[in-house]
Amino acid sequence: MLIEIVVPGSEHEIRLIDDAFGKVCNAVTDLSMLVRTLAAKLLGTMKLVSPKFLYQTLDKKLMSNMRRKVSIFF
């Protein structure tokens, strides 16, 4: 059973599994190695995350960290 909740102050609904996935993705960049390790393990166990939310979250959170940062010197 998938549970949806209404986002406070909005008419939008979000599935709890999608919200949890986004929060765990944020934990992947935590300062603590223990938290990062646990977050990565949890990501591997999460099922039924909607593909649209999965792609959107990974693109914004994880893939942006892989882009090369270019320094411009004047």
The model's confidence at residue 67, banded by pLDDT at 50, 70 and 90, is low
Among 64, 61, 67, smallest CA distance to 25 is for 61
Overall residue count recorded for the chain in this entry: 74
Among 25, 23, 20, 8, smallest CA distance to 48 is for 20
Instruction: Note the pLDDT tens digit of each residue in 21-58.
Output: 989 988 988 999 999 999 999 998 998 999 988 888 77
Instruction: Note the pLDDT tens digit of each residue in 10-24.
Output: 777 888 898 899 899
